[in-house]
Chain A
Amino acid sequence: MIEPKTSKKICGMGHRMKRKEDARFLHGQGTYVDDIKLPGMLFMDIVRSPYAYAKIKSINTEKALEIPGVLAVITGETLKEYNLHWMPTLMSDTQMVLPTDTVMYQAQEVAAVIATDRYAAADGIEAVEVEYEPMKAVVNPHKALDADAPVLRTDKEGKTDNHIWHWESGDREGTDKLFEEADIVVKENIYVPRIHVASIETCGCIADFRPATGKLTVHLTTQAPHAVRTVIALVAGHVGLSEEKVRVISPDIGGGFGGKVPVYPGYVIAIAASVVIGKPVKWIEDRSENLQADSFARDYHMVGEIAADKDGTMKALRIKTLADHGYTDAAANPSKYPAGMFSICTGSYQFENAFTEMDAVYTNKPPGGVAYRCSFRVTEAVHAIERMVDVLAQELGRDPAELRMQNFIQPDQFPYHSPTGWEYDSGNYPAALQKAMDMIGYDELRKEQAEKRARGELMGIGVCSFTEVVGAGPSKDFDILGIKMFDSAEIRIHPTGKAIARFGTKSQGQGHETTYAQIVAEELGIPALHIEVEEGDTDTAPYGLGTYASRSTPTAGAAAAKAARKIRDKARKIAAHLLEVSEEDLDWEPGKFFVKGAPDKSTTIQDIAFAAYTNHPQGMEAGLEAVHYYDPPNLTFPFGSYICVVDIDKQTGEPKIRRFVAIDDCGNIINPMIVEGQIHGGLTQGLAPAMFEELIYDEDGNILNGTFMDYLLPTAVETPHWETGHTITPCPHHPIGAKGVGESPTVGAPPAIANAIVDALSHLGVTNIDIPITPFKVWKILKEKGVTNA
């Protein structure tokens, strides 16, 4: 544990400060989009397609319009009049806002009803009569590229197949050569299934267009309000929505996890409705709509291979992936990275070479896939490498922890250049794994496992030593729709020494109001409690790309430190003026400047702030404020080692997690309590896909588990006791040495759990089980292997 440098009163970095935002949430005084009620507000509900792929023969709105309270029914034809029936996706693909002739996935938006209350709107959608002509859907991505597969995107001129893009990274020839020469090659098909972010709050908005001023205010569930404002101005500029007339407000957000990065058709329809009608229009999705139509993640079909020497030295990695994007590529990756940061797939290990390639296809499923609590496809990459290392260990008859230790990138190799082109900033992988092994008692557990196995009992131990890549990102490589992925902070110190700090990011539960205040407190010595943090209003906050991909601390957190340092530089000038010495004669400690060698001659930051407005030096600008747009020089690479122990019921197939130890290294820690909270939440969101979650479709493209009755999210009952710990390897290029933490546990937990369950069954010849690993799946294996008598 690193001792905080500031007093408890200042509460800078390292203090377990209670979250400033929690009081309003605990008192039920948070303000979410659905809490906002505007005078004259209308309500929208959406007619959705019952078919995965169908022609629309007709839409009859007559009966709906007869319902008292129903004012309008908006269809694709309505939007076409304004050329608003299509929109771009963040990946520069295209997406229908409302269809004019064809629906491409079940639950797709078909028409919208605007009414004076929610009940009338709901009755209205029931009364809209749509005549469909169903067509044979393309559901299986493996068949999407078959010669006889129907071409889905007939809207794209010249499109002759369902292929979206091919992407590759690394050295194909060099990697192939190592595979040809290798002593041992292991290969495994690994599927990371389609899942959903399932945040507590669904998506929604209030579009509020005032005809008299021409101003559009959109209260929106978005993780990236500034980017959305620009997108609105670019997409709807032709109908008069100029960027200075557009204000996006992202109020309290009940979880985003990447699902609130995209612009959904519902937002656009509500905006169009408000502009046409001239009244505020509220649209809030219900749970089933959210689950069935929005923001899926993952859905990568991977084939992993490792080439190794007999002694276990890993030489080369090859991964070939088929990515199912559904109807359109609506992922939310940086522009130049259609497969996100998947090429981090060499993980924590030294490979001489690596090559990975991917093909993305269209199917008749909802579009995506968003980066669900992971930095752009890192979850998939980590699952592939961490499963494959275990497959290799099994083939070699080696202990998986020992094999990892043998192949780790060593602490003295940083900055480390990976074969796929990343420059890892810092790390100490052996230390993290050793700490996890010591904490869980690894050697004793292996002994126990051997004894149990001899008795016919099933117990497994799973290890995962992941490396993340977060904090997008440096402007030379990273942009979304051309906008560089910097982020920003603007700090103003008030005359009484209190402050307001505004950011281009947007918390959805991460605790920014606390952690950003602690960063500013660390740099300026103003108590964190005296620093008000604001985000989410594009009229007041500085421009930024928003919060996702664990980027807030690496970008806006850095901007906070940099802006605070600019303020400190000016404060030093004022202090020199107040103490009548030269700047060089001053030393700083958190909260005050003092004269070198005469510590009793000092002036506090509060005195300096007052002087900045009342007694500033002649020739200097009054006031004390700064803004900083931070362009990170590199990404950050948090890492960790997790160990999971499971026991399996031989008769029912139920795997039960007995213990789970998580050692995380996210560089310097801003608030240990918030980091622990992030890890607990993330581990639970890693447990979910490992054992419960998957969006399941039948061969016609119907979703089979479109409600929480069957789309299973773990509760406290299913969640094991998480045992957490950390190592600290500061980020060398970040102003406060922090790396970001929100996503590490989501990324690291699934392979740890899968490895543990496979390990319990490895003596039966089992080498892989695709997640989610349910009792039913395990029972089928036990039945096939003759282990169960049930």
Chain B
Amino acid sequence: MIPPAFDYHAPQTLEEALSLLDEYGDDAKILSGGHSLIPMMKLRLAQPEHIVDINALTELEYIREENGVIYIGGLTREVALEESDIIHARLPLVSEVLPLIADPQVRNLATIGGNLAHGDPGNDHPAVMLALGATIVAQGPEGKRSIHINDFFEDFYMTALEPEEILTEIQIPVPPQGSGGSYKKLERKVGDYAVAGVAAQVTVDGSGACTSAGLALTNVHYIPFKVTDGEDVLVGSKLDKEAIEKAAGIASEQCDPSNDLRGSVEYKRAMVLELTRRALRDAANQARG
């Protein structure tokens, strides 16, 4: 549980951090909350030569709303999101996932940017962001660029971020009137990664018909999994039992979980089925008001 030697850098400005990343590239890792990186270093599974600690960049800690979009700084702590009135009022789906992420000690330090940038399919924010259609802002030597969340998770622990880039912001469109969202997570104990997790976000019109749907899964696929076919079934439906059952069936069939100590493939598919039902039912009820 003791890491090998590494060089530690504590940049005071974003420019300084970016220039360090530019200099060290693949040999550097960004330290934000550290709750994934430090255990990996202690187990010597990750052996970065340079740690770029961005915790001094407090300008990346914010939550604000402008013109129908919620802007969240990449270094914003989970606990700040948990305590944010904006999040509670505007993004009930995010509100629901927060207390299910790890445990309070972890959430005091862990950041939303780190949670997404780590690219771990077991993390809970990715499915939520997929369901909400968020946009990731990355800043690198060439300046800023926007990456739609649908294009962000590329492979197992691989995201669209370049080694020289820092995830500086998450942009989430505020769901319109008639929306609802829910996150369901089955875990073996508090602080565990999900056996299965389901994020659902829906919007209905005056007639009760679904006009948009986001459905994504945690820890049952090699990347955070957006259930596009399931979303297609929901849109245009009345979010009735039949539509929900069909979408849940698609989620359960299309995900690709692995056998492990959390359970068999069959069990995880069954849990995706049931949790999707529950998430969609709750999201639909919320949307209908």
CA–CA, A776 and B274, complex, Å: 14
Q: Which of B188, B261, B274 makes the CB contact (< 8 A) with A790?
A: B274
> Is the CB of B262 closer than 8 A to any CB of chain A?
yes
Residues of B153-178 at the interface with A, using a CB-CB cut-off of 8 Å, are none
Decide if A133 is an interface residue (CB 8 Å cutoff): no
Asked if A788 is at the interface (CB within 8 A of a chain B CB), the reply is: yes
Give complex CA distance A692, B274 in Å: 23
Q: Are B1 and A779 neighbours in the complex by a CB distance under 8 Å?
A: no
Report chain B residues within 8 Å CB of A775.
Answer: 186, 188, 195
CB contacts (< 8 Å) of A718 on chain B: these are: 189-190
A752 to chain B, nearest CB (A): 20
A790 and B189 within 8 A (CB): no
Q: For B141, what are the chain A residues with a Cβ–Cβ distance below 8 Å?
A: none
Q: How far is the CB of B195 from chain A (nearest CB, A)?
A: 8
What residue of chain A has the Cβ atom nearest to residue B1's Cβ?
A286
Interface 9-mer from A267-275, A497-505, A600-608, A704-712: A704-712
Complex alpha-carbon distance, A709 and B106, angstroms: 14
Residues 245-277 (chain B) with a chain A CB within 8 angstroms: 261-264, 266-267, 270-271, 273-274
- A745-775 interface code vs B (CB 8 A; 1 in, 0 out): 0000000000000000000000000000011
Decide if A440 is an interface residue (CB 8 Å cutoff). no
User: Is there an interface contact between A710 and B270, defined as CB atoms closer than 8 Å?
Assistant: no
Q: B267 contacts A715, CB within 8 Å?
A: no
B contact residues, total (Cβ < 8 Å) = 23
Which residues of chain A are within 8 angstroms of B190 by Cβ–Cβ distance? Answer: 715, 717-718
A710: nearest chain-B partner, CB-CB: B261
Q: Is the CB of A696 within 8 A of B1?
A: no
Residue A123 interfacial (CB < 8 Å): yes
Are the CB atoms of B261 and A705 closer together than 8 Å? yes
Q: How far is the CB of B191 from chain A (nearest CB, A)?
A: 7
Docked CA distance A122–B271 (Å)? 42
- Is B103 touching A715 in the complex (CB atoms < 8 A)? yes
- Say yes or no for A298: interface residue by CB 8 A criterion: no
- In the complex formed, the residue of A with least CB distance to B271 is A652
B267 pairs with A780, CB closer than 8 A: yes
Q: A122-B2, A718-B190 are in contact. Are A651 and B274 (CB under 8 A)?
A: yes
Taking a contact as CB atoms under 8 Å apart, the answer to whether A126 and B267 are in contact is: no
CA of A714 to CA of B264, assembled, Å: 22
Is the C-beta of B89 less than 8 angstroms from some C-beta in chain A? no
A713 to B190, CA, bound (A): 10
Please name all residues of chain A whose beta carbon is closer than 8 Å to the beta carbon of B267 when the two chains form the complex.
776, 779-780
| A-side interface size class | 20 to 34
Compute how far the CA of A151 lies from the CA of B186 in the bound complex, rounded to whole angstroms. 44
Q: How far is the CA of A790 from the CA of B263 in the complex (A)?
A: 14
Of the candidates A286, A712, A775, the one having the most CB atoms from chain B within 10 angstroms of its own CB is A775
Q: A709 contacts which chain B residues (CB < 8 A)?
A: 192
Q: Judging by beta carbons under 8 Å apart, are B4 and A123 in contact?
A: yes
A790 lies within 8 A of B191 (CB): no
Q: Which of A64-84 contact B (CB under 8 A)?
A: none
> What is the minimal beta-carbon distance from B242 to any residue of chain A, in angstroms?
15
Select from chain A the residue with minimum beta-carbon distance to B104: A717
- Does B189 lie within 8 Å of A715, measured CB to CB? yes
Residue with the greatest number of chain A CB neighbours at <10 A, chosen from B44, B266, B271: B271
Q: Is A118 close to B, CB under 8 A?
A: yes
Given the interface contacts A776-B262, A779-B267, A790-B271, does A118 sit within 8 Å of B188 by beta carbon? no
Residues 93-125 of B, flagged 1 when their CB comes within 8 A of A and 0 if not, give 000000000010000000000000000000000
Q: Which residue of B lies closest to A287 (CB)?
A: B1
Binding site of A, secondary structure by majority: helix, strand, loop or mixed?
A: loop
Cα of A286 to Cα of B44 in the assembled complex, Å: 14
Q: Does A119 contact B (CB under 8 A)?
A: yes
Q: Which of A705, A710, A718 has the largest count of B CB atoms less than 10 A from its CB?
A: A710
In A246-291, the 8 Å CB interface with B consists of 286-288
Q: CB within 8 Å of A: which of B181-223?
A: 186, 188-192, 195
Complex alpha-carbon distance, A704 and B259, angstroms: 13
A710: B residues at CB distance < 8 A: 261
Complex: chain A residue closest to B193, CB-CB: A709
Residues of chain A within 8 A (CB-CB) of B192 are 709, 712
A783 within 8 Å of B (CB atoms): yes
Give the most central of B4, B189, B190: most A CB within 10 Å: B189
Q: Which residues of A contact B191 (CB under 8 A)?
A: 715
- Contact assessment for A776 and B2 in the assembled complex, using a CB-CB cutoff below 8 Å: no
A790-B270 contact, Cβ under 8 Å, with A714-B189, A715-B191: yes
B271 in contact with A692 (CB, 8 Å) = no
B residues less than 8 Å from A790 (CB atoms): 270-271, 273-274
CB distance from A657 to the nearest CB of B (A): 14
Chain A positions within 8 Å of B186 at CB level:
652, 654, 775
- Specify which chain A residues have a CB less than 8 angstroms from the CB of B188 in the assembled complex: 692, 712, 774-775
Residues of B within 8 Å of A286, CB to CB, are 1-2
Residues of A within 8 A of B189 (CB): 692, 712-715, 717-718
C-alpha gap A696/B262 in the complex (Å): 13
Minimum Cβ distance to chain A for residue B112 (Å): 22
- Residue in B2, B270, B271 whose beta carbon sits within 8 Å of that of A119 in the complex: B2
A126 to B1, CA, bound (A): 12
Cβ-defined contact, A783 with B261, below 8 A: no
Bits for B1-13, please: 1 = Cβ < 8 Å to A, else 0. Answer: 1101100000000
Q: Which of A702-730 contact B (CB under 8 A)?
A: 704-705, 709-710, 712-715, 717-718
| A696 proximity list for chain B (CB < 8 A) | 261
CB closest chain-A residue, reference B196 = A652
In-complex Cβ contact of A783 among B2, B44, B270 (8 A): B270
Quote the shortest CB–CB distance from B200 to chain A (angstroms).
16
Interface string of A669-696 (1 = CB under 8 A from B): 0000000000000000000000010001
Least CB separation from B184: chain A residue: A652
Please tell me if the beta carbons of B261 and A288 are within 8 angstroms of each other in the complex.
Answer: no
Chain B residues whose C-beta falls within 8 Å of the C-beta of A118 in the assembled complex = 2
Chain A, 195-225, CB within 8 A of any chain B CB: none
- CB pair A288–B1 under 8 Å, yes or no, is yes
Most buried by B among A118, A119, A779: A779
- List the A side residues contacting B44 at CB < 8 Å: 126
Residue of B nearest to A782 (CB): B270
Residues from chain B with a CB closer than 8 A to the CB of A717 are 189-190
Minimum distance in angstroms from A485 CB to a CB of chain B: 37
The CA-CA distance from A277 to B267 in the complex, in Å, is: 56
A286 to B1, CA, bound (A): 6
- Measured in the bound complex, the distance between the Cα atoms of B271 and A780 in whole Å is 12
Measured between alpha carbons, how far is A346 from B1 in the docked complex, in Å? 45
Which residues A627-656 have CB closer than 8 A to chain B? 651-652, 654
CA A704 – CA B1 in complex, angstroms?
Answer: 18
The interface bits of chain A over 395-437 (1 if a CB of B lies within 8 angstroms of the residue's CB, else 0) are: 0000000000000000000000000000000000000000000
Residues of A within 8 A of B266 (CB): 783
Across the interface, which residues of A come within 8 angstroms of B261, CB to CB? 696, 704-705, 710
Bound form: Cα–Cα A783–B274 in Å: 13
Q: Once bound together, how far apart are the Cα atoms of A709 and B195, in whole Å?
A: 13
> Which residues of chain A from 613 to 632 have a CB within 8 Å of any chain B CB?
none
- Shortest CB-to-CB span from B5 to chain A, Å, is 7
Cβ–Cβ < 8 Å partners of A287 in chain B: 1
Q: Which residues of chain B from 17 to 38 have any CB-CB distance to chain A below 8 Å in the complex?
A: none
Kindly provide the distance from the CB of B30 to the nearest chain A CB, expressed in whole angstroms: 23
Q: Which residues of the partner chain B approach A712 to less than 8 Å between Cβ atoms?
A: 188-189, 192
**Cα distance A118–B190 when bound, in Å?**
32
Give bound CA distance, A277 to B84, whole Å.
59
Residues of A within 8 A of B103 (CB): 715
Q: How far, in whole Å, are A128 and B117 apart by their CA atoms in the complex? A: 35
Q: 16 interchain pairs (CB within 8 A)? A: A122-B4, A126-B44, A286-B2, A288-B1, A652-B271, A696-B261, A704-B261, A715-B191, A717-B189, A717-B190, A718-B189, A774-B188, A776-B267, A780-B267, A783-B270, A790-B270
Known A-B contacts: A776-B195, A783-B266. Give 17 more (CB < 8 A): A286-B1, A286-B2, A652-B186, A652-B271, A652-B274, A692-B188, A696-B261, A705-B261, A710-B261, A712-B192, A715-B190, A718-B190, A775-B186, A776-B262, A776-B264, A779-B263, A779-B267
